[in-house]
Structure 1
Protein backbone atom coordinates (compact mmCIF):
# COMPACT_ATOMS: atom_id res chain seq x y z
CA UNK A 1 0.00 0.00 0.00
CA UNK A 2 1.32 3.44 -0.96
CA UNK A 3 0.58 5.91 1.83
CA UNK A 4 0.99 9.65 1.32
CA UNK A 5 1.60 11.26 4.72
CA UNK A 6 1.24 15.03 4.97
CA UNK A 7 2.53 16.98 7.98
CA UNK A 8 5.21 14.33 8.43
CA UNK A 9 7.39 16.47 10.70
CA UNK A 10 4.60 17.49 13.07
CA UNK A 11 3.75 15.92 16.43
CA UNK A 12 1.41 13.26 15.07
CA UNK A 13 3.01 13.00 11.62
CA UNK A 14 6.41 12.19 13.08
CA UNK A 15 4.95 9.30 15.07
CA UNK A 16 2.92 8.09 12.08
CA UNK A 17 6.08 7.63 10.03
CA UNK A 18 7.07 4.88 12.45
CA UNK A 19 3.70 3.29 13.20
CA UNK A 20 2.55 3.05 9.57
CA UNK A 21 5.77 1.46 8.28
CA UNK A 22 4.42 -2.07 8.64
CA UNK A 23 1.38 -1.26 6.49
CA UNK A 24 3.14 -0.20 3.30
CA UNK A 25 5.39 2.35 1.63
CA UNK A 26 5.27 5.73 3.37
CA UNK A 27 5.80 8.85 1.25
CA UNK A 28 6.23 11.67 3.79
CA UNK A 29 5.68 15.26 2.69
CA UNK A 30 5.71 18.62 4.43
CA UNK A 31 6.34 22.29 3.75
CA UNK A 32 10.05 21.59 3.27
CA UNK A 33 11.41 19.14 0.71
CA UNK A 34 11.34 15.73 2.42
CA UNK A 35 13.21 12.47 1.85
CA UNK A 36 10.70 11.76 -0.89
CA UNK A 37 12.00 14.80 -2.82
CA UNK A 38 8.56 16.40 -2.61
CA UNK A 39 7.07 19.31 -0.69
CA UNK A 40 3.46 20.30 -0.15
CA UNK A 41 1.86 23.57 0.91
CA UNK A 42 -1.74 23.08 1.98
CA UNK A 43 -2.43 26.77 1.44
CA UNK A 44 -1.68 26.24 -2.27
CA UNK A 45 -4.16 23.84 -3.95
CA UNK A 46 -1.90 23.40 -6.99
CA UNK A 47 0.88 21.86 -4.90
CA UNK A 48 -1.63 19.49 -3.29
CA UNK A 49 -2.87 18.26 -6.67
CA UNK A 50 0.68 17.97 -8.04
CA UNK A 51 1.96 15.85 -5.15
CA UNK A 52 -1.03 13.52 -5.06
CA UNK A 53 -0.91 12.96 -8.82
CA UNK A 54 2.84 12.38 -8.64
CA UNK A 55 2.63 9.84 -5.80
CA UNK A 56 -0.68 8.18 -6.77
CA UNK A 57 -1.28 6.81 -3.25
CA UNK A 58 -3.87 4.28 -2.17
CA UNK A 59 -4.26 6.12 1.12
CA UNK A 60 -3.73 9.76 2.13
CA UNK A 61 -3.12 10.40 5.82
CA UNK A 62 -3.37 14.13 6.55
CA UNK A 63 -1.57 15.03 9.76
CA UNK A 64 -0.91 18.61 8.60
CA UNK A 65 -2.90 21.53 9.99
CA UNK A 66 -2.87 25.17 10.97
CA UNK A 67 -2.81 24.75 14.76
CA UNK A 68 -2.02 28.24 16.11
CA UNK A 69 -5.40 28.66 17.82
CA UNK A 70 -4.96 32.28 18.90
CA UNK A 71 -3.11 33.42 15.78
CA UNK A 72 -5.94 32.06 13.64
CA UNK A 73 -8.14 34.89 14.93
CA UNK A 74 -6.00 37.33 12.92
CA UNK A 75 -5.22 34.94 10.03
CA UNK A 76 -8.64 33.45 9.25
CA UNK A 77 -8.04 33.17 5.50
CA UNK A 78 -4.78 31.25 5.91
CA UNK A 79 -6.27 29.00 8.60
CA UNK A 80 -9.28 28.25 6.37
CA UNK A 81 -7.08 27.56 3.35
CA UNK A 82 -5.03 24.96 5.27
CA UNK A 83 -7.68 23.43 7.54
CA UNK A 84 -10.72 23.77 5.31
CA UNK A 85 -10.21 24.31 1.59
CA UNK A 86 -7.20 21.99 1.34
CA UNK A 87 -9.23 19.06 2.63
CA UNK A 88 -11.72 19.44 -0.21
CA UNK A 89 -8.82 19.29 -2.70
CA UNK A 90 -7.29 16.25 -0.99
CA UNK A 91 -10.65 14.47 -0.97
CA UNK A 92 -11.30 15.26 -4.64
CA UNK A 93 -7.90 13.95 -5.73
CA UNK A 94 -8.27 10.86 -3.55
CA UNK A 95 -11.64 10.10 -5.09
CA UNK A 96 -10.20 10.35 -8.61
CA UNK A 97 -7.57 7.77 -7.64
CA UNK A 98 -9.95 5.51 -5.72
CA UNK A 99 -7.90 6.21 -2.59
CA UNK A 100 -9.03 6.68 1.01
CA UNK A 101 -8.42 9.61 3.37
CA UNK A 102 -7.58 9.74 7.06
CA UNK A 103 -7.78 13.18 8.65
CA UNK A 104 -7.34 14.48 12.21
CA UNK A 105 -9.78 16.99 13.67
CA UNK A 106 -10.36 18.53 17.08
CA UNK A 107 -12.52 18.82 20.18
CA UNK A 108 -12.66 22.56 19.44
CA UNK A 109 -15.49 21.96 16.95
CA UNK A 110 -17.78 21.98 20.03
CA UNK A 111 -18.97 24.96 22.09
CA UNK A 112 -18.11 23.46 25.48
CA UNK A 113 -21.55 23.93 27.03
CA UNK A 114 -22.14 20.24 27.79
CA UNK A 115 -21.33 18.58 31.09
CA UNK A 116 -20.89 15.08 29.61
CA UNK A 117 -18.44 13.86 26.94
CA UNK A 118 -19.34 14.78 23.37
CA UNK A 119 -20.29 11.95 21.00
CA UNK A 120 -19.93 11.91 17.23
CA UNK A 121 -23.67 12.60 16.97
CA UNK A 122 -23.54 15.84 18.95
CA UNK A 123 -23.96 19.00 16.89
CA UNK A 124 -20.72 20.96 16.39
CA UNK A 125 -20.73 24.65 17.29
CA UNK A 126 -17.16 25.98 17.22
CA UNK A 127 -16.47 29.15 19.17
CA UNK A 128 -13.20 30.23 17.52
CA UNK A 129 -11.73 30.53 14.02
CA UNK A 130 -9.53 27.47 14.46
CA UNK A 131 -12.53 25.29 15.37
CA UNK A 132 -14.57 26.71 12.49
CA UNK A 133 -11.83 25.94 9.97
CA UNK A 134 -11.39 22.40 11.28
CA UNK A 135 -15.14 21.81 11.01
CA UNK A 136 -15.00 23.16 7.44
CA UNK A 137 -12.35 20.55 6.67
CA UNK A 138 -14.52 17.76 8.02
CA UNK A 139 -17.47 18.91 5.93
CA UNK A 140 -15.32 19.24 2.80
CA UNK A 141 -14.25 15.60 3.04
CA UNK A 142 -17.80 14.44 3.67
CA UNK A 143 -19.17 16.49 0.75
CA UNK A 144 -16.85 14.79 -1.74
CA UNK A 145 -17.97 11.35 -0.59
CA UNK A 146 -14.50 9.80 -0.54
CA UNK A 147 -13.93 6.79 1.81
CA UNK A 148 -12.63 8.40 4.99
CA UNK A 149 -11.93 8.35 8.70
CA UNK A 150 -12.11 11.70 10.48
CA UNK A 151 -10.44 11.22 13.85
CA UNK A 152 -11.25 13.93 16.40
CA UNK A 153 -8.70 14.24 19.15
CA UNK A 154 -7.82 16.75 21.87
CA UNK A 155 -5.05 18.51 23.78
CA UNK A 156 -2.30 16.81 21.75
CA UNK A 157 1.18 16.74 23.27
CA UNK A 158 4.50 14.95 22.90
CA UNK A 159 8.22 15.52 23.16
CA UNK A 160 8.56 17.49 19.93
CA UNK A 161 6.99 20.57 18.39
CA UNK A 162 5.03 23.15 20.35
CA UNK A 163 2.58 21.94 23.00
CA UNK A 164 1.41 22.46 26.57
CA UNK A 165 3.73 19.80 28.04
CA UNK A 166 6.90 21.34 26.62
CA UNK A 167 5.74 24.86 27.49
CA UNK A 168 5.14 23.90 31.13
CA UNK A 169 8.51 22.14 31.47
CA UNK A 170 10.27 25.18 30.02
CA UNK A 171 8.43 27.70 32.20
CA UNK A 172 9.06 25.62 35.33
CA UNK A 173 12.78 26.09 34.74
CA UNK A 174 12.37 29.86 34.42
CA UNK A 175 9.73 30.87 36.98
CA UNK A 176 9.00 30.27 40.65
CA UNK A 177 5.22 30.66 40.19
CA UNK A 178 2.89 29.58 37.40
CA UNK A 179 -0.80 30.42 37.09
CA UNK A 180 -2.80 27.92 35.02
CA UNK A 181 -6.46 27.84 33.99
CA UNK A 182 -8.55 25.38 36.01
CA UNK A 183 -12.02 25.75 34.42
CA UNK A 184 -11.39 24.26 30.98
CA UNK A 185 -11.73 20.47 30.93
CA UNK A 186 -10.58 17.95 28.33
CA UNK A 187 -8.40 14.89 27.72
CA UNK A 188 -4.65 15.35 27.17
CA UNK A 189 -3.71 12.93 24.38
CA UNK A 190 -0.21 11.70 23.51
CA UNK A 191 0.71 12.04 19.83
CA UNK A 192 2.18 8.52 19.84
CA UNK A 193 -1.08 7.03 21.10
CA UNK A 194 -2.91 8.72 18.22
CA UNK A 195 -0.44 7.32 15.69
CA UNK A 196 -0.45 3.82 17.18
CA UNK A 197 -4.24 3.75 17.30
CA UNK A 198 -4.37 4.83 13.64
CA UNK A 199 -2.07 1.96 12.68
CA UNK A 200 -4.09 -0.53 14.72
CA UNK A 201 -7.26 0.52 12.92
CA UNK A 202 -5.67 0.35 9.47
CA UNK A 203 -4.11 -3.04 10.14
CA UNK A 204 -7.65 -4.46 10.21
CA UNK A 205 -8.22 -3.50 6.57
CA UNK A 206 -4.90 -4.00 4.80
CA UNK A 207 -6.31 -6.43 2.20
CA UNK A 208 -8.49 -3.70 0.68
CA UNK A 209 -8.04 -0.37 2.44
CA UNK A 210 -10.52 1.50 0.22
CA UNK A 211 -13.22 -1.08 0.87
CA UNK A 212 -12.40 -1.05 4.59
CA UNK A 213 -12.71 2.73 4.74
CA UNK A 214 -15.89 2.68 2.64
CA UNK A 215 -17.57 0.22 5.00
CA UNK A 216 -16.55 2.16 8.11
CA UNK A 217 -16.43 5.77 6.86
CA UNK A 218 -17.25 8.46 9.36
CA UNK A 219 -16.16 10.54 12.31
CA UNK A 220 -14.55 8.88 15.33
CA UNK A 221 -13.42 10.38 18.63
CA UNK A 222 -9.87 9.33 19.53
CA UNK A 223 -8.49 10.54 22.86
CA UNK A 224 -6.94 9.16 26.00
CA UNK A 225 -9.45 8.15 28.65
CA UNK A 226 -10.31 10.35 31.60
CA UNK A 227 -10.36 14.12 31.81
CA UNK A 228 -8.72 16.98 33.63
CA UNK A 229 -8.23 20.75 33.52
CA UNK A 230 -5.17 22.53 32.21
CA UNK A 231 -4.20 23.09 35.85
CA UNK A 232 -4.64 19.37 36.57
CA UNK A 233 -2.54 18.55 33.52
CA UNK A 234 0.21 20.95 34.63
CA UNK A 235 0.17 19.55 38.18
CA UNK A 236 0.62 16.02 36.84
CA UNK A 237 3.43 17.12 34.52
CA UNK A 238 5.44 18.42 37.45
CA UNK A 239 4.65 15.37 39.57
CA UNK A 240 5.78 12.94 36.85
CA UNK A 241 8.77 14.99 35.68
CA UNK A 242 11.84 12.73 35.91
CA UNK A 243 14.16 15.75 36.26
CA UNK A 244 12.58 17.77 39.10
CA UNK A 245 15.97 19.17 40.12
CA UNK A 246 15.87 21.35 37.01
CA UNK A 247 12.65 22.99 38.15
CA UNK A 248 12.75 26.48 39.59
CA UNK A 249 8.99 26.32 40.22
CA UNK A 250 7.78 26.62 43.81
CA UNK A 251 4.09 27.44 43.40
CA UNK A 252 1.38 26.38 40.93
CA UNK A 253 -1.81 28.45 41.13
CA UNK A 254 -5.22 27.51 39.70
CA UNK A 255 -7.03 30.44 38.06
CA UNK A 256 -10.31 30.98 36.17
CA UNK A 257 -10.26 31.64 32.42
CA UNK A 258 -11.14 35.32 32.85
CA UNK A 259 -7.79 35.86 34.57
CA UNK A 260 -5.99 34.56 31.48
CA UNK A 261 -7.76 36.11 28.48
CA UNK A 262 -6.79 34.81 25.04
CA UNK A 263 -7.70 36.04 21.53
CA UNK A 264 -9.53 32.77 20.82
CA UNK A 265 -12.32 31.54 23.06
CA UNK A 266 -11.78 27.98 24.33
CA UNK A 267 -14.59 25.53 25.16
CA UNK A 268 -15.05 25.14 28.91
CA UNK A 269 -15.71 21.41 28.49
CA UNK A 270 -14.52 19.38 25.51
CA UNK A 271 -14.10 15.78 26.62
CA UNK A 272 -14.91 13.32 23.84
CA UNK A 273 -16.76 10.02 24.16
CA UNK A 274 -14.70 7.21 22.56
CA UNK A 275 -17.24 4.38 22.73
CA UNK A 276 -17.84 4.36 18.96
CA UNK A 277 -14.21 3.85 17.97
CA UNK A 278 -13.70 1.32 20.75
CA UNK A 279 -16.68 -0.83 19.77
CA UNK A 280 -16.06 -0.54 16.00
CA UNK A 281 -12.36 -1.40 16.01
CA UNK A 282 -11.88 -3.09 19.39
CA UNK A 283 -9.58 -0.43 20.78
CA UNK A 284 -9.02 0.44 24.43
CA UNK A 285 -7.38 3.73 25.36
CA UNK A 286 -5.22 4.17 28.47
CA UNK A 287 -5.80 7.01 30.89
CA UNK A 288 -4.12 10.31 30.14
CA UNK A 289 -2.10 9.90 33.36
CA UNK A 290 -0.59 6.57 32.23
CA UNK A 291 0.44 8.04 28.89
CA UNK A 292 1.92 11.13 30.54
CA UNK A 293 3.97 8.94 32.87
CA UNK A 294 5.30 7.02 29.86
CA UNK A 295 6.23 10.22 28.06
CA UNK A 296 8.05 11.79 30.99
CA UNK A 297 9.75 8.52 31.88
CA UNK A 298 11.20 8.14 28.39
Structure 2
Protein backbone atom coordinates (compact mmCIF):
# COMPACT_ATOMS: atom_id res chain seq x y z
CA UNK A 1 0.00 0.00 0.00
CA UNK A 2 1.52 3.39 -0.97
CA UNK A 3 2.36 5.70 1.89
CA UNK A 4 0.57 9.06 2.12
CA UNK A 5 2.57 11.97 0.76
CA UNK A 6 3.80 13.75 3.87
CA UNK A 7 4.47 16.87 1.82
CA UNK A 8 0.97 17.08 0.36
CA UNK A 9 -0.67 20.40 1.08
CA UNK A 10 -4.23 19.96 2.40
CA UNK A 11 -5.07 23.45 1.19
CA UNK A 12 -4.05 22.57 -2.36
CA UNK A 13 -6.15 19.42 -2.32
CA UNK A 14 -9.12 21.36 -0.98
CA UNK A 15 -8.61 23.95 -3.74
CA UNK A 16 -8.62 21.14 -6.32
CA UNK A 17 -11.92 19.89 -4.92
CA UNK A 18 -13.35 23.40 -5.12
CA UNK A 19 -12.22 23.77 -8.74
CA UNK A 20 -13.92 20.48 -9.54
CA UNK A 21 -17.08 21.85 -7.98
CA UNK A 22 -16.98 24.93 -10.23
CA UNK A 23 -16.36 22.80 -13.33
CA UNK A 24 -19.24 20.51 -12.39
CA UNK A 25 -21.53 23.53 -12.04
CA UNK A 26 -20.55 24.73 -15.51
CA UNK A 27 -21.15 21.29 -17.04
CA UNK A 28 -24.55 21.08 -15.36
CA UNK A 29 -25.48 24.54 -16.61
CA UNK A 30 -24.81 23.50 -20.21
CA UNK A 31 -26.54 20.14 -19.84
CA UNK A 32 -23.46 17.90 -19.95
CA UNK A 33 -24.61 15.82 -17.00
CA UNK A 34 -22.75 12.63 -17.91
CA UNK A 35 -19.42 14.47 -17.83
CA UNK A 36 -20.35 16.09 -14.53
CA UNK A 37 -21.20 12.68 -13.10
CA UNK A 38 -17.85 11.26 -14.24
CA UNK A 39 -15.95 14.08 -12.53
CA UNK A 40 -17.85 13.55 -9.31
CA UNK A 41 -17.52 9.77 -9.28
CA UNK A 42 -13.77 10.14 -9.85
CA UNK A 43 -13.61 12.66 -7.01
CA UNK A 44 -15.58 10.29 -4.79
CA UNK A 45 -13.25 7.38 -5.53
CA UNK A 46 -10.25 9.55 -4.65
CA UNK A 47 -11.89 10.71 -1.43
CA UNK A 48 -12.70 7.16 -0.35
CA UNK A 49 -9.05 6.17 -0.78
CA UNK A 50 -7.89 8.94 1.52
CA UNK A 51 -10.73 8.62 4.03
CA UNK A 52 -8.60 6.73 6.53
CA UNK A 53 -6.42 9.75 7.30
CA UNK A 54 -8.79 12.58 6.23
CA UNK A 55 -6.03 14.14 4.12
CA UNK A 56 -6.86 17.12 1.94
CA UNK A 57 -9.55 18.68 4.09
CA UNK A 58 -9.29 21.53 6.58
CA UNK A 59 -8.78 20.72 10.24
CA UNK A 60 -12.18 22.15 11.13
CA UNK A 61 -13.91 19.60 8.88
CA UNK A 62 -11.95 16.77 10.46
CA UNK A 63 -12.82 18.03 13.94
CA UNK A 64 -16.51 17.79 13.05
CA UNK A 65 -16.12 14.17 12.00
CA UNK A 66 -16.79 14.69 8.31
CA UNK A 67 -15.66 12.07 5.85
CA UNK A 68 -13.64 13.31 2.85
CA UNK A 69 -16.26 11.50 0.76
CA UNK A 70 -19.11 13.64 2.09
CA UNK A 71 -18.79 16.53 -0.36
CA UNK A 72 -18.65 14.43 -3.56
CA UNK A 73 -21.51 12.31 -2.21
CA UNK A 74 -23.61 15.43 -1.58
CA UNK A 75 -22.75 16.68 -5.05
CA UNK A 76 -23.78 13.40 -6.67
CA UNK A 77 -27.07 13.47 -4.77
CA UNK A 78 -27.71 17.00 -6.05
CA UNK A 79 -26.83 15.96 -9.60
CA UNK A 80 -29.12 12.93 -9.52
CA UNK A 81 -31.90 15.04 -8.02
CA UNK A 82 -31.60 17.58 -10.82
CA UNK A 83 -31.63 14.79 -13.41
CA UNK A 84 -34.74 13.22 -11.86
CA UNK A 85 -32.83 10.08 -10.89
CA UNK A 86 -34.63 9.69 -7.58
CA UNK A 87 -33.84 5.99 -7.19
CA UNK A 88 -30.13 6.78 -7.41
CA UNK A 89 -30.55 9.47 -4.74
CA UNK A 90 -31.96 6.88 -2.35
CA UNK A 91 -29.22 4.39 -3.19
CA UNK A 92 -26.53 6.92 -2.24
CA UNK A 93 -28.32 8.04 0.91
CA UNK A 94 -29.26 4.62 2.19
CA UNK A 95 -26.49 2.34 0.95
CA UNK A 96 -23.27 4.34 0.91
CA UNK A 97 -21.09 3.72 3.96
CA UNK A 98 -18.92 6.78 3.38
CA UNK A 99 -21.00 9.64 4.76
CA UNK A 100 -18.99 9.73 7.98
CA UNK A 101 -22.03 9.90 10.27
CA UNK A 102 -24.05 7.24 12.05
CA UNK A 103 -27.41 8.90 11.40
CA UNK A 104 -28.18 10.62 8.10
CA UNK A 105 -30.48 13.00 9.99
CA UNK A 106 -27.26 14.82 10.94
CA UNK A 107 -26.80 15.68 7.26
CA UNK A 108 -30.29 17.03 6.64
CA UNK A 109 -29.85 20.27 8.54
CA UNK A 110 -29.18 23.77 7.13
CA UNK A 111 -26.53 24.13 9.83
CA UNK A 112 -24.41 21.27 8.49
CA UNK A 113 -21.05 22.57 7.34
CA UNK A 114 -19.72 22.18 3.82
CA UNK A 115 -20.91 23.38 0.44
CA UNK A 116 -24.53 22.67 -0.44
CA UNK A 117 -24.82 22.14 -4.18
CA UNK A 118 -27.90 23.28 -6.04
CA UNK A 119 -26.34 24.21 -9.41
CA UNK A 120 -28.48 27.34 -9.78
CA UNK A 121 -25.72 29.63 -10.96
CA UNK A 122 -22.07 29.26 -11.80
CA UNK A 123 -19.77 29.76 -8.79
CA UNK A 124 -22.60 31.18 -6.70
CA UNK A 125 -22.30 29.47 -3.33
CA UNK A 126 -25.38 28.36 -1.45
CA UNK A 127 -24.53 30.71 1.40
CA UNK A 128 -25.22 33.90 -0.59
CA UNK A 129 -28.52 32.89 -2.09
CA UNK A 130 -31.23 33.55 0.41
CA UNK A 131 -32.85 31.76 3.34
CA UNK A 132 -32.56 28.24 2.00
CA UNK A 133 -32.47 24.97 3.86
CA UNK A 134 -30.46 21.86 3.12
CA UNK A 135 -30.40 20.82 -0.53
CA UNK A 136 -29.60 17.30 0.62
CA UNK A 137 -32.86 17.32 2.58
CA UNK A 138 -34.69 18.56 -0.50
CA UNK A 139 -33.30 15.76 -2.65
CA UNK A 140 -34.06 13.17 0.02
CA UNK A 141 -37.66 14.32 0.45
CA UNK A 142 -38.29 14.44 -3.31
CA UNK A 143 -36.88 10.93 -3.71
CA UNK A 144 -39.03 9.60 -0.88
CA UNK A 145 -42.15 11.19 -2.39
CA UNK A 146 -41.28 9.59 -5.73
CA UNK A 147 -40.92 6.23 -3.98
CA UNK A 148 -44.30 6.61 -2.29
CA UNK A 149 -42.74 6.92 1.17
CA UNK A 150 -44.76 10.01 2.04
CA UNK A 151 -44.60 9.70 5.83
CA UNK A 152 -40.80 9.80 5.75
CA UNK A 153 -40.89 12.67 3.26
CA UNK A 154 -43.29 14.58 5.49
CA UNK A 155 -40.89 14.39 8.44
CA UNK A 156 -38.09 15.89 6.33
CA UNK A 157 -40.29 18.62 4.84
CA UNK A 158 -41.58 19.57 8.29
CA UNK A 159 -37.99 19.86 9.50
CA UNK A 160 -37.11 22.03 6.49
CA UNK A 161 -40.02 24.36 7.21
CA UNK A 162 -39.14 24.56 10.89
CA UNK A 163 -35.48 25.35 10.22
CA UNK A 164 -35.72 27.52 7.09
CA UNK A 165 -39.19 29.03 6.75
CA UNK A 166 -38.06 31.20 3.85
CA UNK A 167 -37.05 28.27 1.64
CA UNK A 168 -39.36 27.95 -1.36
CA UNK A 169 -38.11 24.41 -2.05
CA UNK A 170 -39.67 23.27 1.22
CA UNK A 171 -43.03 24.73 0.22
CA UNK A 172 -42.83 23.14 -3.23
CA UNK A 173 -42.29 19.75 -1.61
CA UNK A 174 -45.07 20.35 0.92
CA UNK A 175 -47.58 21.10 -1.83
CA UNK A 176 -46.29 18.27 -4.00
CA UNK A 177 -46.92 15.90 -1.11
CA UNK A 178 -50.12 17.33 0.36
CA UNK A 179 -51.81 19.55 -2.24
CA UNK A 180 -54.73 21.53 -0.82
CA UNK A 181 -54.30 19.70 2.48
CA UNK A 182 -51.13 21.75 3.00
CA UNK A 183 -53.20 24.83 3.91
CA UNK A 184 -53.19 24.28 7.72
CA UNK A 185 -49.42 23.77 7.70
CA UNK A 186 -48.95 27.03 5.80
CA UNK A 187 -51.13 28.83 8.35
CA UNK A 188 -49.08 27.33 11.18
CA UNK A 189 -45.78 28.45 9.65
CA UNK A 190 -47.09 31.99 9.22
CA UNK A 191 -48.51 32.07 12.75
CA UNK A 192 -45.04 31.22 14.05
CA UNK A 193 -43.38 34.11 12.18
CA UNK A 194 -45.64 36.82 10.80
CA UNK A 195 -42.69 38.62 9.22
CA UNK A 196 -42.12 35.66 6.90
CA UNK A 197 -44.10 36.09 3.68
CA UNK A 198 -43.34 32.74 1.99
CA UNK A 199 -46.23 30.74 3.52
CA UNK A 200 -48.62 33.47 2.36
CA UNK A 201 -47.30 33.29 -1.20
CA UNK A 202 -47.84 29.55 -1.37
CA UNK A 203 -51.23 29.83 0.31
CA UNK A 204 -52.25 32.37 -2.34
CA UNK A 205 -51.16 29.88 -5.01
CA UNK A 206 -53.25 27.10 -3.46
CA UNK A 207 -56.28 29.38 -3.17
CA UNK A 208 -55.88 30.38 -6.83
CA UNK A 209 -55.63 26.73 -7.85
CA UNK A 210 -58.85 26.09 -5.90
CA UNK A 211 -60.63 28.89 -7.78
CA UNK A 212 -60.82 31.18 -4.73
CA UNK A 213 -59.23 34.12 -6.52
CA UNK A 214 -60.66 36.95 -4.42
CA UNK A 215 -59.23 35.46 -1.23
CA UNK A 216 -56.04 34.49 -3.08
CA UNK A 217 -55.47 38.11 -4.08
CA UNK A 218 -55.92 39.33 -0.51
CA UNK A 219 -53.34 36.84 0.72
CA UNK A 220 -50.88 37.66 -2.08
CA UNK A 221 -51.12 41.39 -1.37
CA UNK A 222 -50.62 40.67 2.33
CA UNK A 223 -47.36 38.93 1.41
CA UNK A 224 -46.28 41.92 -0.70
CA UNK A 225 -46.97 44.27 2.20
CA UNK A 226 -44.54 42.29 4.36
CA UNK A 227 -41.68 42.42 1.83
CA UNK A 228 -42.42 44.33 -1.41
CA UNK A 229 -38.93 43.86 -2.86
CA UNK A 230 -38.49 40.20 -1.87
CA UNK A 231 -34.88 41.17 -1.34
CA UNK A 232 -33.82 38.20 0.80
CA UNK A 233 -34.55 35.64 -1.88
CA UNK A 234 -32.08 34.31 -4.40
CA UNK A 235 -32.08 33.53 -8.08
CA UNK A 236 -35.33 32.11 -9.40
CA UNK A 237 -37.32 32.88 -6.26
CA UNK A 238 -37.22 36.67 -6.00
CA UNK A 239 -40.55 38.35 -6.83
CA UNK A 240 -42.36 35.00 -6.88
CA UNK A 241 -45.42 36.64 -5.34
CA UNK A 242 -45.80 38.92 -8.36
CA UNK A 243 -45.94 35.91 -10.68
CA UNK A 244 -48.67 34.39 -8.50
CA UNK A 245 -50.56 37.69 -8.35
CA UNK A 246 -50.31 38.04 -12.14
CA UNK A 247 -52.10 34.72 -12.61
CA UNK A 248 -54.73 35.74 -10.08
CA UNK A 249 -55.36 39.10 -11.76
CA UNK A 250 -55.60 37.39 -15.16
CA UNK A 251 -58.15 34.94 -13.76
CA UNK A 252 -60.14 37.91 -12.44
CA UNK A 253 -60.15 39.57 -15.86
CA UNK A 254 -57.46 42.23 -15.43
CA UNK A 255 -55.08 41.31 -18.24
CA UNK A 256 -53.39 44.73 -18.20
CA UNK A 257 -52.18 44.45 -14.60
CA UNK A 258 -51.35 40.78 -15.11
CA UNK A 259 -49.05 41.62 -18.02
CA UNK A 260 -47.42 44.44 -16.07
CA UNK A 261 -46.69 42.09 -13.17
CA UNK A 262 -45.29 39.46 -15.52
CA UNK A 263 -43.05 42.13 -17.02
CA UNK A 264 -41.68 42.88 -13.56
CA UNK A 265 -40.87 39.20 -13.05
CA UNK A 266 -39.25 38.92 -16.50
CA UNK A 267 -37.07 41.92 -15.69
CA UNK A 268 -35.90 40.35 -12.45
CA UNK A 269 -35.12 37.01 -14.11
CA UNK A 270 -33.14 38.77 -16.84
CA UNK A 271 -31.18 40.77 -14.26
CA UNK A 272 -30.43 37.54 -12.38
CA UNK A 273 -29.04 36.08 -15.59
CA UNK A 274 -27.00 39.25 -16.03
CA UNK A 275 -25.57 38.67 -12.55
CA UNK A 276 -24.21 35.32 -13.77
CA UNK A 277 -22.52 36.91 -16.78
CA UNK A 278 -21.09 39.67 -14.61
CA UNK A 279 -19.73 37.14 -12.10
CA UNK A 280 -18.15 35.19 -14.97
CA UNK A 281 -16.29 38.32 -16.10
CA UNK A 282 -18.45 38.94 -19.19
CA UNK A 283 -19.04 42.52 -18.13
CA UNK A 284 -20.23 44.12 -21.37
CA UNK A 285 -22.76 41.38 -21.99
CA UNK A 286 -23.92 41.57 -18.40
CA UNK A 287 -24.41 45.34 -18.61
CA UNK A 288 -26.41 44.94 -21.83
CA UNK A 289 -28.69 42.42 -20.11
CA UNK A 290 -29.18 44.78 -17.15
CA UNK A 291 -30.20 47.50 -19.61
CA UNK A 292 -32.59 45.16 -21.41
CA UNK A 293 -34.19 44.18 -18.10
CA UNK A 294 -35.16 47.80 -17.46
CA UNK A 295 -37.25 47.85 -20.66
CA UNK A 296 -39.75 45.51 -19.04
CA UNK A 297 -40.70 48.30 -16.63
CA UNK A 298 -41.50 50.76 -19.42
CA UNK A 299 -45.14 51.82 -19.72
TM-score normalised according to structure 1 size? 0.27
Greater Cα radius of gyration, structure 1 or 2: 2
> RCO (CA 8 Å, sep 6+): is it higher in 1 or 2?
1
TM-score normalised according to structure 2 size? 0.27
Hey, which of these two has a bigger chunk of strand by percent? 1
Hey, which of these two has a bigger chunk of helix by percent? 2
